[in-house]
Structure 1
């Protein structure tokens, strides 16, 4: 390990041990590392941090454990799905989606019933990466009960990725939702769905959205997707 990397890791470990945890400084330090070649020592530091009493420290740990794929990280992510902090749960759920192991399905199914609809959305999206009939059944059952539009984005997008193409129209309908984050997440999903068969329908829907009085954040997200469609 080069000296510069060792110094960064030592500083991160020191910050993690301090109270309160300084998320900003820790993030600046870790961003100085090449996370595509993340040193195994970093994984150990982050794993030691998942039981930290500071919520921000645990969020930090799970956010960057995403870069590792060991069994220890998988087990840590399973544990994170039942953390008291919603952000920790979402970061842990994203790890499980990235690893896409069928063994995580019971934990993700439980997360589909979380109080926070954002957690439910993330859980649905991660289930979609586990390409099995069981995953599809879990999502379909939850869809019958789900009432929150943001959570529905995750269910619709995953069922679409699992072969239910009719879900695309459901995602487009959410562009008319009253919750701006639902619209923005729907736009991001649509961006990933674009192909030659559906791009005109998506393009038309986004153009209609831009004609309405919408928040700047929604407008910016819509224009990004529209520009991508025009380039393809």
Structure 2
């Protein structure tokens, strides 16, 4: 291991053990590592932190465990779906979506019934990545009772990518939602949906959105979609 890498890992390990956990300092250190070639030593440090009493340390651990795909990480992510902290839950759910193992479905199904719509949205997206018939039925069943617009983005997008192309219209309707984060997440989904068959529909809807009085964050997200449309 390179001397510099070892030094960074030792510093991260020290910070994680300190109270309170300095998230910003740890994040600055980890940014100096090549996470695409993340060393095993980092995985071990992060795995040792998933039960840390400091919620920020746990969030940090799960956020960066996303870059690993071992069985130990998978098991840690299953545990994280039941954490008391919503951000830990969402990071764990993202890991499960990235690993896309059918064994995660019972845990994701439980998260799909969480009180927090953000958790439900993330769970729906990860269930979509698993992509089995059982996963699809899970999403369709949740759609029948889901009332929150943000959570619906996750369900609509997963069902769309699982072959239900009619869900694209539902995503576009969410551009008229009153909650700006729902609109932003819908725009990000539309950015990934663009193809020759739907590009004009997405372009028209996005331009209509820009004609409204919208927050800067929404405007920026819409302009990103239009830029991608120009390149298609």
Q: In the TM superposition, what are the counterparts of 1:81-92 in structure 2 within 5 Å?
A: 81-92=81-92
1:202 and 2:202 aligned: yes
1:63 and 2:63 aligned: yes
Distance in 1 between residues matched to 2:2 and 2:153, nearest whole Å:
44
Q: Give the number of aligned pairs.
A: 232
- What runs of 5+ residues in structure 2 fail to find an aligned partner? none
2:179 is aligned to: 179
Distance in 1 between residues matched to 2:198 and 2:41, nearest whole Å:
45
Q: In the TM superposition, what are the counterparts of 1:107-122 in structure 2 within 5 Å?
A: 107-122=107-122
- What runs of 5+ residues in structure 1 fail to find an aligned partner? none
Distance in 2 between residues matched to 1:83 and 1:145, nearest whole Å:
24
Q: TM-score, normalization: structure 1?
A: 1.00
How many angstroms does 1:82 deviate by? 0.3
1:159 and 2:159 aligned: yes
Distance in 2 between residues matched to 1:162 and 1:231, nearest whole Å:
25
For residues 15-40 of structure 1, give each alpha carbon's deviation from its aligned partner in whole angstroms, at most 9, with x where no partner exists: 00000000000000001001111000
Distance in 2 between residues matched to 1:112 and 1:146, nearest whole Å:
10
Distance in 1 between residues matched to 2:111 and 2:131, nearest whole Å:
18
1:32 is aligned to: 32
Distance in 2 between residues matched to 1:123 and 1:73, nearest whole Å:
17
2:124 is aligned to: 124
Structure 1's consecutive aligned runs of 4 or more residues displaced over 4 angstroms after TM superposition are: none
How many angstroms does 1:48 deviate by? 0.2
1:218 is aligned to: 218
How many angstroms does 1:227 deviate by? 1.1
